[in-house]
Amino acid sequence: MRHAPLNTRADAAAVPGGTVADLGERDLIARIQERLPPASRALLVGIGDDAAVLEPPRGRLEVLTTDGLVEGIHFDRRFSTPFDIGWKALAVNLSDIAAMGAAPAAALLSLALPESMGIDALDGLIDGFLSLAGESRVGLAGGNVTRSPGPLVVDVTVTGSVRRRDVLRRNGARPGDGVFVTGSIGAARAGLEFLMAGGSEISLDGMDACIERYCRPAPRYRIGALLGRVRAATACMDLSDGLADAARQVAEASGVGIRLTADALPVSEACRRWFDERGGDAIAAAAAGGDDYELLFTVPRKRTGRLRHVVQQARNVPITRIGEITAEKGAELIRNGSREPLPAGFVHF
């Protein structure tokens, strides 16, 4: 239902413009290089040598993460365009860098390409990756291209930097801290369920935005770096495995409890409608659903002024107080005046 799907082995012969099997490794790399914007001054050696060489910003720590998307596990080419896949492969890594309070700087892109993949699809994937890279000012420093006898695999590594005192870990939450979340939750899950239900036959207001959230998430790299820079938060984590999972992990790592308020959760309107119409529990689904690349973080009362600064700078991204850290351990949800355990998190493996 979206344009330019990857091509399966079966229809390889019909791919206009040819497949990646028509190109050698060097041609493939040249094709990627052609699409690159001018490199930043910090990138001293880019694609084309044995390894990349970067000038680290002085007096800062390095933050390093890697995450990958595997066809059939993390995406389905019936639902995601090549552009989406390239975009999302970088997005999930930027989200991890943001969750450390760091600013991203450079990325490596490692591709395992099925022979039957069209060259157009490869171009689309690179364009999606570079589109988000441009927006977030991340340079493509290097990578690797190989064949895959099975699924398309896109592995990305992102390096960033942070001042020593600005690092946001998961283990700094203290009783009394407020718990906050960026943006809204549940939209990606609703979007995916809609697509899997054969979405095109159903019409539901606002569902386009849910699909967009699933296919092309907007990682909070600006807010993450800002949270670090102004030192507003005591702990931070991204919601890649869902809000409930993040809340539980921050509480466990910090040796505290966490209590969220159901009414306060910023569940997207279309998501609420999707689950309500199916007789599902929208709150539980939104809290458990993965693929929300938002940030959960904790702020002590005395840093409210700093938080206000972040809220002002966050532009169109709302920041919502959803609960608080407690001395009593455990992770619970207050709903209609009674307590219930937070739903289980999303399991990726």
Binding site for its own copies (CB under 8 A): 23-25, 28, 44-45, 49-56, 61-68, 70-74, 95-97, 99-100, 102, 106, 108, 110, 112, 141-151, 153, 155, 157, 159-160, 162, 167, 169-170, 236-238, 347-349
- What's the closest the beta carbon of residue 64 comes to its own copies, in angstroms? 5
d(CA 51, CA 45): 8
Contacting residues for 332 by C-beta, under 8 A, at least 6 apart = 257, 258, 259, 260, 339, 340, 341, 342
Q: How far is the CB of 68 from its own copies (least distance, A)?
A: 5
Q: Is 237 exposed, middle or buried (0-12, 13-18, 19+ CB in 10 A)?
A: buried
Q: How far is the CB of 110 from its own copies (least distance, A)?
A: 5
Residue 179 near residue 244 (C-beta atoms within 8 A): no
The distance of closest approach from Cβ of residue 88 to its own copies in the complex, given in angstroms and rounded to an integer, is 14
Q: Which is nearer to its own copies, 161 or 268 (CB)?
A: 161
Backbone angles phi, psi at 190, to 5 degrees: -65, -40
Q: How far is the CB of 43 from its own copies (least distance, A)?
A: 10
**Three-state SS for 311?**
helix
> Which among 256, 282, 257 is positioned nearest to 269, based on CA atoms?
282
Structural tokens at position 113: 């390409």
Handedness of CA 297, 302, 304, 306 (dihedral sign): negative
Which residue's CB is nearer to its own copies, number 98 or number 265? 98
Q: Which amino acid is at 37?
A: P
Nearest approach, Cβ of residue 102 and its own copies (Å): 7
- Phi and psi based region of residue 156 (left: phi greater than 0; alpha: psi -120 to 50; beta: remaining): beta
> Min. distance of Cβ 44 from its own copies in angstroms?
7
- C-beta of residue 257 within 8 angstroms of C-beta of residue 326: yes
Q: Which is nearer to its own copies, 9 or 35 (CB)?
A: 9
Question: How far apart are CB 238 and its own copies at their closest, in Å?
Answer: 6
- Measured from the CB of residue 229, what is the shortest distance to its own copies in angstroms? 16
C-alpha to C-alpha distance for 284 and 275, rounded to whole angstroms? 10
Report, in Å, the least distance between residue 197 CB and its own copies.
Answer: 22
Question: Crossing angle for the helix pair 82-98 and 119-135, nearest 10 degrees?
Answer: 30
- CB distance 136 to 94 below 8 Å: yes
Residues in contact with 10: Cβ distance below 8 Å, sequence separation at least 6, in sequence order: 116
* H or E element in which residue 115 lies: none
Identify which of 135, 181, 187 has the alpha carbon closest to the alpha carbon of residue 318. 181
Q: Which is nearer to its own copies, 210 or 223 (CB)?
A: 223
Minimum CB distance to its own copies smaller for 55 or for 277: 55
Whether 101 contacts 233, CB under 8 Å? yes
Tell me whether residue 102 or residue 187 sits nearer to its own copies (CB atom): 102
Q: Are 136 and 159 in contact (CB under 8 A)?
A: no
